[in-house]
A and B are shown apart, each in its own frame.
Chain A
Amino acid sequence: EAAVTQSPRNKVTVTGGNVTLSCRQTNSHNYMYWYRQDTGHGLRLIHYSYGAGNLQIGDVPDGYKATRTTQEDFFLLLELASPSQTSLYFCASSDDWGGSYEQYFGPGTRLTVL
């Protein structure tokens, strides 16, 4: 069964802090995505990748970096966290571009920036 895991599940940091969110998929999927979900906004695509070393910009990339180190691992980096980045973050993977392929989501990471 397709599996996407995220860590940590919850994270609290202070303004200006450095945060790394991790995502691992064991589906052998090519595409991986980072989304944020805020009340009243649905999900918004931050970054995505179609393979190790590749990075593409999504709809709301400002303040975020991402890195795909292997086929399995995709990281989201917040180098100077701000309260506006308090959100629920989801990682997902799909075999091909998610517009036409099923996406498999991780359980989410709740980030609070004080």
Chain B
Amino acid sequence: GQQVQQSPASLVLQEGENAELQCNFSSTATQLQWFYQRPGGSLVSLLYNPSGTKHTGRLTSTTVTKERRSSLHISSSQITDSGTYFCAMERAGYQNFYFGKGTSLTVIP
């Protein structure tokens, strides 16, 4: 079954609005990362956050391990934030990576 569920599947915001992306996982995660895929297809790692809250630039991730969920908050969204955001987790006891299906974010002027 699907290990990682992301919501919403897609999101449209006006420039300057904040975005909240959710990630829920079906088993205990020992590692949790957020990734970003540009509209052209290139992929980058954004944040590693297995627990607690982490910030980088306009991104804030909060992971509550025992509730099996993580969120990614993007403040003051910009047009260049458009793309697809993935969370990925490693299950406890497995050295393997499971990605969600992603949230497609579109930021309009």
Q: Which residues of A contact B (CB under 8 A)?
A: 33, 40-45, 56, 58-59, 88, 90, 92, 97-105, 107-108
Instruction: Identify the closest chain A residue to B9 (Cβ).
Output: A40
Contact assessment for A107 and B41 in the assembled complex, using a CB-CB cutoff below 8 Å = yes
Contacting residues of chain B (1-53) with chain A, CB-CB under 8 angstroms = 4, 30-31, 33, 35, 41-45, 48, 50
Identify A102's interface contact among B45, B86, B97, CB under 8 A.
Answer: B45
Is B100 an interface residue, CB under 8 A from the partner? yes
Contact assessment for A100 and B48 in the assembled complex, using a CB-CB cutoff below 8 Å = yes
Identify B95's interface contact among A43, A56, A102, A104, CB under 8 A.
Answer: A56
Contact assessment for B86 and A105 in the assembled complex, using a CB-CB cutoff below 8 Å = no
A-B pairs under 8 A by CB, number: 52
User: Chain B interface mostly helix, strand, loop or mixed?
Assistant: strand
Closest A-B pairs by Cβ, 5 of them: A99-B31, A42-B99, A99-B90, A105-B43, A102-B45
Identify A43's interface contact among B31, B86, B90, B96, CB under 8 A.
Answer: B86
Contact assessment for B101 and A105 in the assembled complex, using a CB-CB cutoff below 8 Å = no
Contacting residues of chain B (93-109) with chain A, CB-CB under 8 angstroms = 95-102
Instruction: Enumerate chain B residues within 8 angstroms of A104, measured Cβ to Cβ.
Output: 45
- Contacts A43-B86, A99-B33 supplied; 9 other A-B pairs, CB < 8 Å: A40-B101, A42-B86, A42-B99, A42-B100, A56-B95, A58-B97, A59-B96, A103-B45, A107-B41
Known: A42-B102, A99-B33. A105 touches B42 (CB 8 A): yes
* Selected A-B contacts with CB under 8 Å, 16 pairs: A40-B101, A42-B101, A43-B86, A45-B96, A45-B98, A59-B96, A90-B43, A98-B33, A99-B30, A99-B33, A99-B97, A101-B48, A102-B45, A103-B33, A103-B45, A107-B42
Contact assessment for A44 and B45 in the assembled complex, using a CB-CB cutoff below 8 Å = no
Instruction: Enumerate chain B residues within 8 angstroms of A90, measured Cβ to Cβ.
Output: 43
Measured CA separation A98–B99 after assembly (Å)? 13
Measured CA separation A43–B50 after assembly (Å)? 19
Contacting residues of chain B (54-83) with chain A, CB-CB under 8 angstroms = none
Instruction: Enumerate chain A residues within 8 angstroms of B42, measured Cβ to Cβ.
Output: 105, 107-108
